[in-house]
Amino acid sequence: MPLWTAVIGGLWVVWTYIDNEHQAREAATQLAKRESRTRLLEAQKPFLDRQLALYFETAQVAGRLVTLPRNDPIWQQDDKRLEELYWSELTMVEQPVVAEAMKNFRNALAAFEREPTPAAPQTSDALHREALGLANALRAGIKQSWEDPNSGAIVAP
């Protein structure tokens, strides 16, 4: 009987040691993943900050274009700024969903601008729809950029 007690005790010690080693390796792996994600976010932070700023500016410009009259000087400035965003800065940071929505909004805006007179309705239904589509795409782009692929949670650097 003492032999069996010694054997079982020895097996228990070995099993406990192996289990503790496994748990320690698992904890170290999880820590390494978190640290890796943190380093990645820190490296991406300037890009993500610029992307976020441009997405917010794009939303503001589009919002003014669908709410201000065409003959308002601010509308004219925003029309020009939308073109600048479309052809330069935004193309550097946008996801495909945002690029497609921006193209659709720009096309709807061009169609609206071809209407015969600035006295025409302030905006068209198509322009409103595309502005909402752009806003939704911008939100989806932000979520995609800032989402932790492991958890699906939004994280901020």
Question: Bridge-partner residues for 154, per DSSP?
Answer: 147
- 10 Å Cβ neighbour count for 9? 10
**Buried residues in 19-44 as b, exposed as e (16+ CB within 10 A):** eeeeeeeeeeeeeeeeeebeeeeeee
Distance CA(34)–CA(32), nearest Å, equals: 5
The pLDDT score that the predictor gives to residue 50 is 94
Distance CA(50)–CA(42), nearest Å, equals: 14
pLDDT tens digits for the chain (157 residues)?
777 787 788 878 888 888 888 888 998 889 888 888 788 878 888 999 999 999 999 999 999 999 998 889 999 999 999 999 999 999 999 999 999 999 999 999 999 888 766 555 566 888 999 999 999 999 999 998 887 665 555 554 4
Cβ atoms of residues 104 and 118 within 8 Å: no
What is residue 127's DSSP assignment?
A: H
The structure's pTM equals 0.73
Distance CA(71)–CA(143), nearest Å, equals: 35
The pLDDT score that the predictor gives to residue 118 is 55
The pLDDT score that the predictor gives to residue 123 is 63
Cβ atoms of residues 141 and 56 within 8 Å: no
The pLDDT score that the predictor gives to residue 157 is 44
Distance CA(127)–CA(109), nearest Å, equals: 6
Q: What is the DSSP string of 131-154?
A: HHHHHHHHHHHHHHHHB-TTT--B
Cβ atoms of residues 109 and 65 within 8 Å: yes
The pLDDT score that the predictor gives to residue 11 is 78
What is residue 68's DSSP assignment?
A: S
